[in-house]
């Protein structure tokens, strides 16, 4: 199963489909074939593993399939994995995570009905972590939201005169661009869009830009100017003309966005936090002091320390002199959806 999880990680983190890995074993525990899902329209992990075994001349009758996600039981752009496993003569299936997608679920029951021995829940914790973005989107009906902040030690995102380039290091900016390549959409408020004229594209230091460019989402009612960089080549531009976080997320869910990266500015960050809609926080902290200037997050309506929004650190990364803190909510999420997502001070990451 650990190998299947490793294989699953080779699939794209972005897109509507889950990352899945599969290993086929004979009765002695020898690997016959392995595979992973490479993205929408490509063979599912189970089918890829069966094809690999066939290419190797292996007999998969009586084999065990070890899969990170319960085999699907529906026909989409590819056929049901359950039927492929049954046709191949696989007699045992072990999976880590039950499939919560109502359109694809039921694979375990279908296999059991056909006489296959099915065991679920092996390494469930690791499987849930690998699939956390996709699982959250399917279970909740809204995208997983990562909020990115880039600030000084005293929490400023710009100096008093509005200048902000560059607070964080080149290493932090490279890391942020690499993370953009993993998401389905990037959001900024209209204030940031108008003040900074960001491109919101994935731009490697060397080589051609990747084929995948996230949707570029502007939240607010004001128009994006015709000559804006957001209208240049890159991901499609989506104008979410609402001040309601729930409405914005619903629009993106309809477009099958599983992972939304919120990048700016302070007002939009506060709106998502007040709505309790942030699932993970990426805070790039630079050893810089300004003493004045806009803060990374606008007013959250918290009056006392007892009402502070508490988070738990899940990872820290050293980026030259900067530090990235990755955190997730440690308790109940604050607030209800706010209607204050309009103009915001400019931010340094574009």
pLDDT at 274 over 50: yes
- Give 162-211 as a DSSP string: S--TTSS-HHHHHHHHHHHTT-SEEEEEHHHHHHH--------SSSPPPS
34 is catalytic: no
Note if the bond before 265 is cis, omega within 30 degrees.
yes
The helix or strand, by DSSP H or E, that contains position 248, with its residue range, turns out to be helix 245-254
Rounded to the nearest integer, the mean pLDDT of the chain is 91
pLDDT digits (tens, 9 = 90+) for 14-56: 999 999 999 999 999 999 999 999 988 889 999 999 999 999 9
* Catalytic site residue from 34, 46, 263, 348: 46
3-state secondary structure string across 90-131: CCEEEEEECCCCCCCCCHHHHHHHCCCEEEECCCHHHHHHHC
Task: Identify the pLDDT of residue 337.
Answer: 38
pLDDT digits (tens, 9 = 90+) for 211-269: 889 999 999 999 999 999 999 999 999 999 999 999 999 999 999 999 999 997 899 99
Q: How far apart are alpha carbons 343 and 38 in whole angstroms?
A: 39
Label residue 222 exposed, middle or buried (CB < 10 Å: 0-12, 13-18, 19+): middle
pLDDT band at 291 (very low <50, low <70, confident <90, very high): very high
pLDDT band at 346 (very low <50, low <70, confident <90, very high): very low
Percent of the chain past pLDDT 90, that is, above it, reads 80
pLDDT digits (tens, 9 = 90+) for 170-212: 999 999 989 999 999 999 999 889 988 999 998 877 667 778 8
Task: Identify the pLDDT of residue 36.
Answer: 97
What domains sit in the chain, N to C, each tagged with a CATH number? 2-136 (3.40.140.10), 142-329 (3.40.430.10)
């Amino acid at each position: 199963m650990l190998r299947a999880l490793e294989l699953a990680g080779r699939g794209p983190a972005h897109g509507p489909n889950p990352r899945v890995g599969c290993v086929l074993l004979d009765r002695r525990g020898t690997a016959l074939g392995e595979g992973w899902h490479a993205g929408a329209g490509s063979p599912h992990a189970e089918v890829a593993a069966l094809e690999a075994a066939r290419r190797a001349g292996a007999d998969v009758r009586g084999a065990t399939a070890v899969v990170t996600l319960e085999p699907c039981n529906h026909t989409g752009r590819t056929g049901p994995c359950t039927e492929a496993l049954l046709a191949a003569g696989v007699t045992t299936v072990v999976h880590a995570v039950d499939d919560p997608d109502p359109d694809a679920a039921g694979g375990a029951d279908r296999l059991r009905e056909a006489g296959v021995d099915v065991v679920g829940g092996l390494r469930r914790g690791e499987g849930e972590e690998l699939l956390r973005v996709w699982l959250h989107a399917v279970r909740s009906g809204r995208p997983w939201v990562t909020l990115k902040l880039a600030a000084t030690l005293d929490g400023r995102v710009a100096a008093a005169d509005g200048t902000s380039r560059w607070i964080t290091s080149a290493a932090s900016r490279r890391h942020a661009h690499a993370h953009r390549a993993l998401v389905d959409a990037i959001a900024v408020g209209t204030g940031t869009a108008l003040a900074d004229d960001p491109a919101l594209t994935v731009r490697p230091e060397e080589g051609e830009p990747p084929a995948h460019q996230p949707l570029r989402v502007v939240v607010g009612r004001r128009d994006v100017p015709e000559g804006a960089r957001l209208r240049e080549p890159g991901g499609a531009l989506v104008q979410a003309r609402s001040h309601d976080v729930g409405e914005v997320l619903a629009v993106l869910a309809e477009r099958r966005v599983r992972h939304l990266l919120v990048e700016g500015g302070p007002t939009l960050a506060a709106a998502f936090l007040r709505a309790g809609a942030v699932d993970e926080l990426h805070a790039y902290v630079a050893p810089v002091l300004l003493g004045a200037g806009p803060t990374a997050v606008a007013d959250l309506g918290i009056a006392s320390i007892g009402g502070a929004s508490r988070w738990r650190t899940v990872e820290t990364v050293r980026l030259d002199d900067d530090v990235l803190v990755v955190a997730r909510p440690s308790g109940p999420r604050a607030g209800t959806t706010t209607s204050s997502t309009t103009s915001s001070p400019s931010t340094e990451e574009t």
